[in-house]
Chains A and B, each alone.
Chain A
Amino acid sequence: MITMGIDIGAKNIKVVILKDNKIISKSNVLAGFEVEKSAQEAINKALKDAGIKKEDLDKVISTGTGEKLAPFYNETKSVVGCDSLGAVFLHPAARSVIDVGAEEGRGMRCDETGRVLDFEVNEKCAAGAGAFTEAMSRALEVPLEEFGPLSLKATEEIPMNAQCTVFAESEVVTMVHNKVSKANMARAVHDAMASRISSMIRKIGFDKDVVLIGGVAKNVGFIDSLNKDLGLKVVVPKDPEYVGALGAALAAAGWKGGK
């Protein structure tokens, strides 16, 4: 059985194609302003890499904030539902999943089949999402890919109290005036973000096997802050940004746990 999962996020579109529950291709394209066009591009790329045609697909599930903008699909499924499926597939012991994408942070508790038992999503606030680190790295004039590693070089913990990106930026300006090092400021940003995500995941409860997915799961500075805040080591799967699309493809295949 060949299935496709399409995850149309706020910033990127991810596509995963499975054959008998094995990944045969994946693609990632910037969503941009013409989302439908970008989605088609991501699909074409994944189909080409898999060496198959659209007609070969048995079922397609679309997910993400722009799920309805996929050029074709059989069903839609919620992001939290897809995230949980994908996370449990990759890490069968996972019962708690954190997904931090560009626009949203989400926390889920799930069972061994990947079924969501409870979930929480940050609302109307970018301070718990990737957009926050992007804004802060711009404010500090540090390339985004260097922002995480820089944070690990921090020598001090500096609290950042702002609850939103706009006010956090003004706190960063104050820190600049106070001659705080960029490494310490990067750490403050990641700590603030981790604190917000931790608060969300604490609300729904978590077990020791916590899987972190989404684009921000590639940020080592954030992972370090989150581990400290939660008092554990989160599991980060390979290619964490694809887990939602993987879950959608698994849902299309009717996967419910096991291998």
Chain B
Amino acid sequence: MEQVAKYPTEKLKCWNEAKQIRMKYYQDYAEAHDKGGLRWAGGAWTFDSIPAGLGDDVYPITSEPYGATIAFDKKLSLECMEAAEKEGYPRDLCSYMRNYWGSIIIDKYPFGYSGQGEFVPIFQGAKALKFPKPDFIWQDHICCSHAKWYQVVSDLEGGIPMFTVDNAVGPSNELTDSKIKFVVEQLKDGIKFLEKVTKRDYNDELLFKAIRNHFISTSKWAEICNLNKAIPAPLDEKSIYSLYVLGTLQKAGKQVADFYEKTLLPEIKDRVKRGIAAVPNEKFRVMSDTQPPWSFLSIFRYLEKFGCVSIGSLYTFGLIGQWEIKKDGSWGAKTIPDVEFSNRDHALYEYVKYELHKPEWQHFYSCHLKSDMMIRIAKEWKLNGVMLHYNRGCEGLTVGIAENRLALLDAGFPVMAFEGNNADEREFDEARTKAKINAFMETIGAK
């Protein structure tokens, strides 16, 4: 095994700031009512700029990162899974969703206050708060679970006003004016719905600001991921998971846009300039795909023993990042639209037109679109192989993955597939996966 450091390495300076943003997010949501604010729930994929127009004291909780947060706490996750199963929800449903529902059923939030009054995760010794019931649900629907997820949430909570936007209008290379307007009109209806259920007047200026934040967060995140083309890679996938998550929480939030643009991006640029590596013995580069088994992120550290860095994935690059093909044919961060919003309709049109290009939405329409993007990453990020997670916990992102495997092999990239579950640790075999990694590292010459 390669143990010799080839490159200098250092910890990310912004690490604590990223952690604070995340903790404040969950605290703000929990304490929203104490300050006279509102709480809303919806997916990490939803058009989160829209509820921002209701005021600066409206706090979200996005479902997938919440499910992952619970998954990271193995004891709590098992409690949630078993509670959901006891209610009759089967084990083959989305595992994030089962964690989320379980958290409502057992009425436990994964956070609470320590003896010193600090807001911390309960695995750090705090007593769990009760699950903070949202005031309304604002969701999108492209994955088969999206709207159904919140229908159950609403039922479990005794009825919560809910609005869902159908954004499954086809791939971005077939986008038309009418498809954009189809989504825009739903958002306009949604704004009326929000005004009615919250009894608040909608503020378009706040909407415009949120959309601009959204543009910045998603473009700058792509720019950060693009910097990982450098050898050595300044970021490894385990760190990327901790950073991309901010975008999944609130990409329309100023704190996230500022963090990506003013803190993280300059730091990563500086790391590239100085040749600072995430993995100091980097010799081999791979990427993964779909959500990882959150309880077992140690597999990414395990790669380092072989001098192998996982540089990210289409999932982490494309769930938050917005991309475009540059003049030289390579992938780069999507240019932020240079527009002044004249009115609500105009802002919503630009927002939808931009957002429907999200890479992670494309493979719901065709696995070939995903294969093309993965092959592009494998080539441009100079990879030696690919690790595919056959993720039983997320049918939406795993569908077509076997086709992706064949396409990557045809393109000349060795592939290792491993089975697991993003949030149900009962479906992951760590020892066998590590044995597979051993064999895969031999295959690509890293052992």
Asked if A65 is at the interface of the complex by the 8 Å CB criterion, the answer is yes
**With A118-B414, A123-B429, A124-B429: A65-B435 Cβ-Cβ less than 8 Å:** yes
Q: How far is the CA of A67 from the CA of B387 in the complex (A)?
A: 23
Q: List residues of B (399-447) whose CB comes within 8 Å of A's CBs.
A: 402, 409, 414-415, 417-419, 427, 429, 432, 435-436, 438-440, 442-443, 447
Q: How far is the CA of A119 from the CA of B439 in the complex (A)?
A: 9
Q: How far is the CA of A77 from the CA of B447 in the complex (A)?
A: 9
Asked whether A77 lies within 8 Å of B443 as measured between CB atoms, the reply is no
Q: How many residues of A contact B (CB 8 A)?
A: 17
Asked whether A116 lies within 8 Å of B419 as measured between CB atoms, the reply is no
Asked whether B443 lies within 8 Å of A116 as measured between CB atoms, the reply is yes
Asked if A80 is at the interface of the complex by the 8 Å CB criterion, the answer is yes
Asked whether A78 lies within 8 Å of B409 as measured between CB atoms, the reply is no
Q: How far is the CA of A120 from the CA of B418 in the complex (A)?
A: 9
Q: How far is the CA of A78 from the CA of B440 in the complex (A)?
A: 9
**With A65-B435, A78-B435, A78-B438: A119-B443 Cβ-Cβ less than 8 Å:** yes
The closest CB in chain A to the CB of B427 belongs to A124
B interface, how many residues as a size bin? 10 to 19
Asked whether B414 lies within 8 Å of A78 as measured between CB atoms, the reply is no
How many residue pairs, one in A and one in B, have C-beta atoms under 8 Å apart? 41
Q: How far is the CA of A117 from the CA of B440 in the complex (A)?
A: 9
Asked whether B429 lies within 8 Å of A81 as measured between CB atoms, the reply is no
Asked whether B442 lies within 8 Å of A81 as measured between CB atoms, the reply is yes
Q: How far is the CA of A117 from the CA of B438 in the complex (A)?
A: 14
Select one of A65, A78, A124, A203 contacting B439, CB under 8 A.
A78
Tell me which residues across on chain A come within 8 A of B440, comparing CB atoms.
Answer: 119
Tell me which residues across on chain A come within 8 A of B419, comparing CB atoms.
Answer: 123-124
Q: How far is the CA of A80 from the CA of B402 in the complex (A)?
A: 21
User: Among the interface residues A65, A116, A118, A123, which one has the most CB atoms of the partner chain B within 10 A?
Assistant: A123
Q: How far is the CA of A116 from the CA of B442 in the complex (A)?
A: 8
Q: How far is the CA of A80 from the CA of B447 in the complex (A)?
A: 13
Asked whether B432 lies within 8 Å of A79 as measured between CB atoms, the reply is no
The closest CB in chain A to the CB of B390 belongs to A123
Question: Nearest-CB distance from A202 to chain B (Å)?
Answer: 12
Asked if A121 is at the interface of the complex by the 8 Å CB criterion, the answer is yes
Q: Contact mask A49-88 → B, CB, 8 Å, 1/0? A: 0000000000000000100000000001111110000000
The closest CB in chain B to the CB of A120 belongs to B417
Question: Nearest-CB distance from A109 to chain B (Å)?
Answer: 10
Tell me which residues across on chain B come within 8 A of A118, comparing CB atoms.
Answer: 409, 414-415, 443
Question: Nearest-CB distance from B416 to chain A (Å)?
Answer: 8
Tell me which residues across on chain B come within 8 A of A81, comparing CB atoms.
Answer: 439, 442
Select one of A65, A78, A120, A123 contacting B442, CB under 8 A.
A78
Tell me which residues across on chain A come within 8 A of B432, comparing CB atoms.
Answer: 121, 123-124
Asked whether B439 lies within 8 Å of A79 as measured between CB atoms, the reply is yes
The closest CB in chain B to the CB of A115 belongs to B443
Q: How far is the CA of A63 from the CA of B439 in the complex (A)?
A: 11
Tell me which residues across on chain B come within 8 A of A120, comparing CB atoms.
Answer: 417
Q: How far is the CA of A224 from the CA of B174 in the complex (A)?
A: 51
User: Among the interface residues A79, A117, A124, which one has the most CB atoms of the partner chain B within 10 A?
Assistant: A124
Question: Nearest-CB distance from A60 to chain B (Å)?
Answer: 17
Q: List residues of A (101-133) whose CB comes within 8 Å of B's CBs.
A: 115-121, 123-124
Asked whether A80 lies within 8 Å of B439 as measured between CB atoms, the reply is yes
Tell me which residues across on chain B come within 8 A of A77, comparing CB atoms.
Answer: 442
6 contacts across the A-B interface (CB closer than 8 A): A76-B438, A77-B442, A79-B435, A81-B442, A119-B443, A203-B402
Further pairs besides A80-B439, A119-B440: 11, Cβ < 8 Å? A78-B439, A79-B435, A115-B443, A118-B414, A119-B439, A119-B443, A121-B432, A121-B436, A121-B439, A123-B429, A124-B419
Q: Which 4 A-B pairs have the closest CB atoms?
A: A78-B439, A80-B439, A123-B419, A78-B438
